[in-house]
Amino acid sequence: ILKQYVDGIPKETDMDVKLGDKIKLKAPKGSSCILVKNLYLSCDPYMRGRMRDFHGSYLPPFVPGQRIEGFGLAKVIDSDDANYKPDDIISGITGWEEYSLLRSSNEQLQLRKVQLDDDDDIPLSYHLGLLGMAGFTAYAGFNEICSPKKAESVFVSAASGAVGQLVGQLAKLHGCYVVGSAGTKQKVDLLKSKLGFDEAFNYKEEADLDAALKRYFPEGINIYFDNVGGTMLDAVLLNMKVRGRIALCGMVSLQSLSSSSSSSQGINNLYNAIPKRVRLEGFLQSDYLHVFPQFLEHVKGYYKEKKIVYVEDMCEGLEQAPGALVGLFSGKNIGKQIVQVAEE
Ligand code: NDP
Which architecture, in CATH terms, is 12-129+311-340? Alpha-Beta Complex (3.90)
Domain extent listing, the chain: 12-129+311-340, 135-286
Distance, first Cα to last Cα, the chain: 24
Q: What is the pLDDT of residues 96-131, one digit of tens each?
A: 999 999 998 888 898 999 988 776 789 999 999 999
What CATH number should be reported for the domain whose range is 135-286?
Answer: 3.40.50.720
pTM: 0.96
Give distance in angstroms: CA of 20 to centre of ligand 1.
32
Ligand 1 contact, 233 CB (< 6 A): no
Poorest-pLDDT segment among 155-164, 188-197, 221-230, 263-272: 263-272
Mean pLDDT of 316-320: 96
| Contact between 113 and 89 (Cβ < 8 Å) | yes
pLDDT tens-digit map of 61-88: 999 999 999 999 999 999 999 999 999 9
Q: Provide the pLDDT for residue 116.
A: 86
Q: Do domains 12-129+311-340 and 135-286 have the same CATH topology?
A: no
Residue 292 phi/psi, 5-degree rounding, is -60, -45
**CA-based R_g, the chain, Å:** 20
Residue 48, sorted as left (phi over 0), alpha (psi -120 to 50) or beta, turns out to be alpha
Q: How far apart are CA 321 and CA 159, in angstroms?
A: 23
pLDDT, tens digit, 9 for 90 and up, residues 212-244: 999 999 999 999 999 999 999 999 999 999 999
Asked if 141 and 117 count as a contact pair (C-beta separation under 8 A), the reply is: no
Q: Whose CA is nearest to atom 48 of ligand 1?
A: 183
User: Which ipTM did the prediction report?
Assistant: 0.99
Q: Is 327 touching ligand 1 by the criterion CB < 6 Å?
A: no
What is the mean predicted confidence (pLDDT) over 281-286? 96
264 pLDDT band, cuts 50/70/90, is: low
Mutate to test the pocket of ligand 1, among 46, 47, 191, 227 (most ligand atoms within 8 A of CB): 227
Is 10 close to ligand 1, i.e. is its CB under 6 Å away?
A: no
- Cα(250) to ligand 1 centroid in Å equals 7
